[in-house]
Chains A and B, each alone.
Chain A
């Protein structure tokens, strides 16, 4: 026989050791706190109430909140693979309202530029268009692709059709850094540890979950509630309202 014979116990023991070490390592990495990696913004900026960007109807049966970082690949996967279905099947049909809340992490060098760019496009009513194009083009502006993200983000902003002088002025003034900080604070209070994190009902769902899992979680919430609209999280205002389900899906 070629591969057998002899005492196999050391082999099984070795396999067991590698299995335990591997599982322990992955568990540690996926559960460790990332509070120390949360981006530090200018502490002199005046406090403002946290705001998210909302898509969907005010009368939707429940609201799903996403804490996301524009430079995080998981958030990119969620935005490009899951979100189109979420908007078409759940937001447009009035089942849910979807709120995007900034949670930029310091490990991502260019993420704050992207969040500011999205807010500045949002000032002109183009937040979701900018949100989509930023995620679709992460590899063009992320911290490993360029040290000048504003140039790449500016091209994307131009592509979605914002007024460029107004956009540039907004970005260079870092006009919405206070709102972003407020959203980070809200995320810290909500014990957000990684991105993307979704708040669906009273559950914190981590990771770029596929549509079927997202729908299952929403169904679970809807099954346990009466047919009244969900309350907006305390201290949260809507920065972008869509009275009817407004969707931009590429």
Chain B
């Protein structure tokens, strides 16, 4: 399995986590499986909404974009595209920054940690790391294949 395939899988798993939290936030799912965590405290806080939409819905959008970029990278047509690789780095990098902001809010403002958010944050960091490796490799191959 290539890094891009792994990226696509991780993004898809993240998408379903984000959808789960979004459906909970809008009331379609009544119970949030959170164990001993504080998911509801986080979900009920005013920080759970960003620009009028649940934060989880923004997360779902993020994972859809990363999945699409990774899936495209698996196709021959975009396999050597540096633009695609760079776009993945930019999007996942933005995701890491947003995750860092949310984690700060959980730890120091809301004083509660949502397990699902921790899982999603871990996936986002993994996606960023994979995209960085992929970008470096794409760049390297592009230089090597350039005629002397």
Contact = CB atoms under 8 A, between A and B. Distances in A.
Interface of A: 1-5, 8, 10-11, 14-15, 18-19, 22, 25-26, 29-30, 34, 37, 72-78, 81, 105, 107, 138-139, 142-145, 194-196, 206-208
B111 to A, nearest CB: 10
Given A2-B79, A142-B40, A194-B28, A29 B23 contact: yes
Contacts of A10: 1
B83 interface: no
Which of B27, B46, B54, B141 has the largest number of chain A CB atoms within 10 A? Answer: B27
A76 B40 CA distance: 12
A29 B79 contact: no
A74 B9 contact: no
A18 B41 contact: no
A18 B4 CA distance: 16
B35 to A, nearest CB: 12
Q: Is the interface of B mostly helix, strand, loop or mixed?
A: helix
Contacts of A8: 74
B48 to A, nearest CB: 8
Interface of B: 1-5, 8-9, 12-13, 15-16, 19-20, 23-31, 38, 40-41, 43-46, 48-49, 52, 54, 71, 73-76, 79-80, 112, 134, 137-138, 141
A207 B12 contact: no
A14 B142 CA distance: 29
A79 to B, nearest CB: 11
Nearest to A22: B16
A139 B79 contact: no
A105 to B, nearest CB: 7
Contact of A139 (B5, B31, B44, B134): B44
Nearest to A196: B27
Contacts of B24: 73-74
B112 A30 contact: no
A102 to B, nearest CB: 16
B27 A139 contact: no
